[in-house]
Chain A
């Protein structure tokens, strides 16, 4: 395999992996931006998404597209319920209490999945196969193309939604100043629920692509991509939506390049090492910003 071909192929698979990270990172960053909390159970929504798709296809026998849509709806309801039951009562509590609750929710979801599906991995029923499109000497898997195209479209729609829609503007207002938003007549609690619903829907899509890429899903499937997406969100600047996209994609590419050129075993260490470097140089992350207040 030629040097250029090898580089292009690892860039492409990095882009694909990175778009999955970006989808998850968007959930982290939106929830952080609006509720000022790190939802460490977010990664487990990916797992819940993948398992719900398995149940809807394999157990209920629904066609894949219906199962995927139902899986997304299930995750939205799950995310909103978790927020309502676990986080909303702690709205005025210390950030540490909320963080520990989120970790608790994460373990709870993993254990429920283990109870329901056992400790061994379950096969993911949806796949686009291993066939690839040949572009000159570079071969691109259809799954890679699909992942990149769908996540790209989602990111464009999400960006437009946040910048132009009434709800998107309300989300930005709430993320800046909850009391002021409430004084405008914005229902802050409902806006936070909407944010959890959107973040969880994105996690469900990430769960779909994860299942399609790795073919097997287990109770702790969401943990590692969840942590990496969190890293991606911090890397891009937590709270920043373009930051989460950029951070996720860069992280995926760095991981794949590290696997190709350095070492598969060390790739995670390299990913986290890059995060530390970025945070030393730019503590707010790549696109994170602070606006000083004028009096």
Chain B
């Protein structure tokens, strides 16, 4: 479904992503795991079109999207839940969901209902300004907002960041459910433990390079991963 081939991304002179290649197949959950600064978010931002790779090709369903503007990539069925949620804090919960459906024209009431069914808390707060939501609720809103565009591939950037363990469990349960409902998932996480449990396959990133790849279970057992990411 999604192929990243030989990506090299720079921030000015800093070489943030080095020769990265990986793919996400239809129906998979793929995790990108790495420490802070490993380049995980940079990769997602490059796939979404907010950043450009100097080399290589990024393709979605066999179509080269390396130079497609970000706002057109959404229309191809690729949605990103960015790091730090990035919901529109001064807009209401409802308006945030409407923005998620921007490419569809008007938000379909049935889609809004299905997001509310997934996240009942959002329904209670639909008229509230998003900035007044708790961190967990904001994460739910960010995910609900992304769902409004009916993505076939959803990219989640550190959905567990800053959340209490119980909320992290809840968010991962929802990711699992989205996956069972047919959404392909690309998950970026520092929380290797949770991510490897849920992922079919994973790639380990270190300072902008893919250093290891395998199935979730394989990597969870790998001594190198255990040492670096799972606390021994």
Contact = CB atoms under 8 A, between A and B. Distances in A.
Interface stretch (A11-19, A54-62, A287-295): A287-295
| Majority secondary structure of chain A interface residues (helix, strand, loop or mixed) | helix
Given A181-B99, A294-B138, A173 B91 contact: yes
Nearest to A190: B71
A181 B120 CA distance: 25
A173 B82 contact: no
A295 B102 contact: no
A183 B88 contact: no
Interface string B112-139: 0000000000000000010101110010
A176 B131 CA distance: 12
Interface residues of B, number: 38
Contacts, number: 83
Interface string B142-178: 0001000100000000000110000000000000000
A291 B132 CA distance: 9
Interface stretch (A63-71, A77-85, A164-172, A205-213): A164-172
Given A169-B98, A173-B88, A177-B86, A183 B134 contact: no
Contact of A180 (B88, B135, B138, B162): B88
A291 B87 CA distance: 13
Contacts of B50: 179, 182-183
Given A173-B99, A185-B103, A180 B74 contact: no
Given A180-B87, A183-B80, 6 more contacts: A166-B106, A172-B91, A173-B91, A182-B69, A294-B134, A294-B135
4 closest A-B pairs (Cβ-Cβ)?
A185-B103, A185-B74, A180-B86, A182-B70
Interface of B: 45, 48-50, 69-72, 74-75, 79-80, 82, 84, 86-91, 95, 98-100, 102-103, 105-106, 129, 131, 133-135, 138, 145, 149, 161-162
